Chains A and B, each alone.
Chain A
């Protein structure tokens, strides 16, 4: 199994809603990532978890709350989002973060629209 699975594929939410994005991998990777990609733009790193601990937070607003309940799962909790948060949210994973990060495996993303 070399897949990173993200659900849902599409999500429409209002600014007062609370929703969660989910990401799952069964490759034994111990580093997991959230990226945000606006249309026609490159992915931008949001968060990195290493061995289920948050290791990087790229100054992301608190309305985005990541969670890594175990080594296979990564969640992104959303609350009180703004329309400018509409984007493709990509999850990725890689082998242990010590040493060379040779390859990120990306999911297909969740396309989020905030109304």
Chain B
């Protein structure tokens, strides 16, 4: 079984500052990794995904994430945040053999302050 840990429930940051949202996963099999964003009163939107290949993946809205197999991590980064990036961010993992089942972490609220 897989699990995802997002240690930071909330990350406050000032506008135009860099940010890193942490995600660690646990699995006995190979996985796919995802970051989703949820704006208030909305569904979830895919930011980026790691399936295979290059460990640095770039997503929408200037976000990127790096897959680190030895540290079982998939941290999300953005070099300069905007007020509009304020949202809940979920890391998720999917078993490569059972790809219909997505397991979400507990989420990190990114609160961008002016």
Contacts and interface: CB of A to CB of B under 8 A. Distances in A.
A105 to B, nearest CB: 8
Please tell me the size bucket of the interface on B: 10 to 19
Nearest to A48: B100
Interface stretch (A37-45, A61-69, A70-78): A37-45
Contacts of B32: 100-101
A108 interface: yes
A104 B102 contact: yes
A102 B107 contact: no
A44 B92 CA distance: 11
Contacts, number: 55
Contact of A42 (B49, B99, B104): B104
Nearest to A9: B41
A82 interface: no
A56 interface: yes
Interface residues of A, number: 27
A24 to B, nearest CB: 14
Given A42-B90, A101-B94, A102-B51, A90 B102 contact: no
Contacts of B7: none
Contact of A97 (B44, B51, B99, B104): B99
Query: Which of B44, B99, B101 is the most central at the interface, judged by chain A CB atoms within 10 Å of its CB?
Result: B44
